[in-house]
Structure 1
Amino acid sequence: MTIRYPNGKVYKPNNSETPVKKQSKNEKKISFSNRGKTLEDDLNETNQFYNSHGLANVHKKPVPIQIVKVEYPSRSTAVIREAYFRTPSTTDYNGVWNGYYIDFEAKETESKTSFPLKNIHAHQITHMRSVVEQQGIAFFIVRFSSVDRYFVVPFDIIEEAWHTMESGGRKSIRLAAFEEKAVEIQIGFNPRIDYLAALKKIVANK
C-alpha cells in the first residue's frame, strides 16, 4: 500500500534510523526485556497500565488517512493500494498527568554512540514549542536499541540540537549528552517504561 503526505510525497516508514536486526539462533538475549517488542509496543502497555491505575490519561494519537485507491480481488475482500495523510503528523502521544498536559514523541536508534536528528521534522519542533509555551510538558523518549538503554529527553535538549543542526552544526546528539542532561529509565514489568518517574524528576528540577 502506498501512503502519501499531504504534499503528495510518498511516505516511507522509518522506525529508527536503521531496521532492527533479527536475532540469530546462536545469539543470547541481552536481557529479559529483549523479546522482539518495539518501543511503541512497550509504551502502549505502559499507558494502558497508567490509565487503568488512574496514574495518568495518555493515549497514542490517531493518524487521519484519506483512502484514494482500493482494489477488490474478490467480492468479500478489499485491499487499500494508495492513501494520503490528511495532515502532517505532530507527535506520537499526548494526555494529562498530575494536572500537566504532556505531549511526546518516541524514537529508536541502533547507533551505540549518538541519536541522529534526521527523523525529526520541523513541524514537530514547532508543535512541541507551542506545547511548552502553553505550560505543557513536551519531551522525547529515545531508545538506543543496540545497548538497550532508554532516556526521557526534555524538549529543550532536542530543540537546541535542532537549531545547531540548522546552523550547519552537528546532525546528531551524542549519547554522552543524554547521560548528562536527560533522565535514563530502566525497563520493568508494570509499568514497562516508567516515564512518569522521569517526569517527576524533570518537573522537580525546573
Structure 2
Amino acid sequence: MAIRYPNGKKYNPSVPATKKKTNDFSFSNRGKLLEDELNDSNEYYLAHGLAVIHKKPVPVQIVNVRYPARSAAVITEAYFRTPSTTDYNGVWKGHYVDFEAKETKNKTSLPLQNIHLHQVQHMKQVHDQSGLAFFIVNFSLLDRYFLLPFDAFFPLWQRMESGGRKSITLTEIEERSIEISTGYQPRLDYLQAVEQWIQKHNRFNH
C-alpha cells in the first residue's frame, strides 16, 4: 500500500526523510519497543482505573481501494491528512496529558532532528492551557528512561533555533528530567514520574 504525506511525497517507513547519522533515531523501527512498553503501561492504568491515556490514531485519507473479492478490500494508496502532533494523550487525575515518545541509540545526547516544529507548537499550546505536556525519552543502549517536561525542553529547542547545538546532552536531560524507574507491572510507570514532577515544582495547588 502506498501512503503519502500531505505534500504528495511517498511515505517509506524504512527510509529516512533526511539523511541521518548512525547514532540518530532509527526511522524504520523508531520507538517500537518504547511504544510497546507505553501501550502496556496505558492498558494497566486503564484496567486499574488510574488514567485513560491512548496512542493517537494517525489521520489517513484513503485514495484507492482494490477489491480482489467481494468480501475483501485492499487499500492500495493513501495519504496522511495532516502532520501528526504528539504520540499520546488522555486524562489523569483531572489533568489533560499530552506527550511524545522518543527513543535513541545515542549514548550521550538526544538528537533534535526528529522532533518537528508543529509538534513543539502543539505542546506549547497544551502547556499554555495548563495541560501536562512532556517527552518520554529512552536511551535504549543505556536502558534509561526520562520524563522531560515541555517547559524544561523548550529553552533547549529555542537554543537550536538560534543556531546552537542540535541535540540535548544526556547531562542536560538528567538535570531537567525525572528519571523513570522500571518495574514489573507496569514495567514503565511513567505516571509516578509525572507525580514527582508535579510535586517537585508545585505546579498545581490542588
Greater alpha carbon shift after TM alignment, 182-191 vs 117-126:
182-191
Counterpart in the other structure of 2:74: 79
Report if aligned partners of 1:8, 1:84 keep a CA contact under 8 Å in 2: yes
**Unaligned 5+ residue runs, structure 2?**
17-23, 202-206
What amino acid does structure 2 have at the position aligned with 1:179? E
RMSD: 1.9
Letter in 2 for 1:111: N
Deviation of the 1:9 alpha carbon: 2.8
Deviations 1:83-110 (A, max 9, x none): 1111211111111111111100111000
Residue among 161, 186, 193 paired with 2:181: 186
Number of the residue aligned with 1:38:
33
Q: Secondary structure at the match of 1:18?
A: coil
Q: Percent identity?
A: 60
Figure out how many residues of one structure are paired with residues of the other and give that number: 189
Match of residue 67, structure 1, among 49, 62, 65: 62
Structure 1 counterpart of 2:164: 169
Q: Output the CA distance in 1 between the equivalents of 2:117 and 2:28.
A: 25
1:140 deviates by 0.5
| Structure 1 moving runs of 4+ over 6 Å | none
Deviations 1:149-199 (A, max 9, x none): 110110123222211111111000001111111011122211121111111
Residue in 1 that maps onto 2:3: 3
Could you say what secondary structure the match of 1:205 adopts? helix
SS at match of 2:156: helix
- The normalised TM-score by structure 1 is 0.85
Question: Which of 69, 83, 103 is the matching residue for 2:98?
Answer: 103
Native 8 Å contact 1:20 1:110 kept in 2 = no
Give the aligned residue type for 1:180. E
Unmatched 5+ residue regions in structure 1?
Answer: 22-36
